Amino acid sequence: MRVLRILLLAVVAWGCATNPATGRRQLILMSEAEEIQIGRQSNEQIRTQMGVYDDPALQEYVASVGARLVRQSHRPNLPWTFTVIDEPAVNAFALPGGFIYLTRGILPFLQDESQLAGVLGHEIGHVDARHSAEAYSKELGAGLTLAGIGILAPSTQAFQGLAGAGLGVFFLKYGREAELESDRLGVEYAAGAGWDPRGVPGMLGTLDRLDNMGGTRRGVPNWALTHPPAADRVERVQEAVAAAPPASTTNAAALERHLDGLVFGDSREKGMVRGSEFVHPILRFSVRFPEGWEIINGDAQVSAVPSESSNVAMLLQLAEGSGSVEQVAQTQMTAGGWRQTSGERTRINGLDAYVGTYSGVSGNTPVMVQAAHIRSNDRTFVVAGLAASNAFGSAAGTFSTAIDSFRALSTAEAERIQPNRIDFRVVRPGETWESIARAAGEGGVDAATLAIMNGADPGGLPRPGDRIRIVVGG
């Protein structure tokens, strides 16, 4: 036992080092070279799975802001990259080794370039402070401890979403002190590069207003789910702002040039939620989920759940495999651990389909599944309703209605489906956030979101003559 204790102490001593960015000692179970290697490998996964937003000018602009900040950082020699990913959620995150990501969804809520610099500086701070490496090390340690007892039930594999399986470690929630450290470093880097340091508390204030709104989450988690509350951090960061070198650059016009026309919400490439309908103009199909259910558009899977129940759900995804639609259905469902109780070949809105009922177990709960494998445009889609066995009877009719709504889109229909985008207009006398939101039409956003997007309190009024951001339908 004494030898074991000595070895453990040696490992801890080897892993601990004083971080120059924070001045504190940390236990990091990876070298800088390993950080970079992990970051590079994960970067490829993120770019493939989440997608890079197709706007070279915007990508170059964000990278140029990041490069100026890196010159102020404590680890300027890392292979820093800055990428806007094609996700509608409001978030930003960093990987070990200097890989920084913004969702396109956060950009409309940044008021000027100083706030963009604040977000990027904050994420650079996480890398400099080695928070991501520290969190990754802890997750690795937990994974090593639990590896022997972790079991993935075969019955879940047929519908395992890639994002949930592979990317969770990228969205680990840092502790409050880590966030405060990154806030401070973000202020330091932004001000050192010439931007107004008040952009950091300004950005945090906007995110706090968004946090208070709540709302649904689609694909990548929203900021509130991966960061501690922003409200108290606004006050705490003021000390760093006061100590920062004097700087006043905001460059609102530069940011807004790149926001004009930015896709807001779901994109054509990943499909769009329109009320209770999910449409995919690239893959050319549409399916209507039960009215009132929350639809979550993930990277590999679309899911829908009712707000009042947790024992039923619906899923939509591409099905792998070749052969007839019946063969694909049987192969996929058997591989997933599901036992067929009934099934038949049929046609759904003119498309070849196989609809089956299956039973299985998820955890310790008996589950029934009604799944339709549908062939459309040389692809096989699966639309499935899942329910605990004791709830399946009452849910089966709802599942059938949604399954029967699946249809192919014509080329003309698909071309008419365009995403919502950011636009600008001038406030007229007498207008309110509510009236502006109504005037934007079906493609717009609600009044509170519109106000927050423009850096305003949702309870106030827009000022006549101001140029504001709005969201317009495609």
Interval 324-351: pLDDT, tens: 999 999 999 998 889 999 999 999 999 9
Q: Facing residues of 304 across strands?
A: 295, 314
What pLDDT, on the 0 to 100 scale, is given for residue 407?
Answer: 98
What pLDDT, on the 0 to 100 scale, is given for residue 286?
Answer: 97
Interval 74-100: pLDDT, tens: 999 999 999 999 999 888 999 889 999
For 472, the token pair is: 């317009």
For 288, the token pair is: 């209507």
For the chain, list residues with pLDDT below 50: 1-15, 23, 141-167, 169, 215-219
What pLDDT, on the 0 to 100 scale, is given for residue 144?
Answer: 31
What pLDDT, on the 0 to 100 scale, is given for residue 233?
Answer: 84
Q: What is the CATH number of domain 272-410?
A: 3.40.1000.10
CA 320/CA 364 separation, integer angstroms? 27
For 51, the token pair is: 């997608």
What pLDDT, on the 0 to 100 scale, is given for residue 473?
Answer: 83
When the candidates are 2.60.40, 3.10.350, 1.10.3470, 1.20.1270, the CATH number that belongs to 419-472 is: 3.10.350
Closest CA to 124 of 45, 66, 171: 66
Residue-by-residue DSSP string for 272-304: EEETTEEEETTTTEEEEPPTT-EEEE-SS-EEE
Write down the domain spans for the chain. Answer: 13-264, 272-410, 419-472
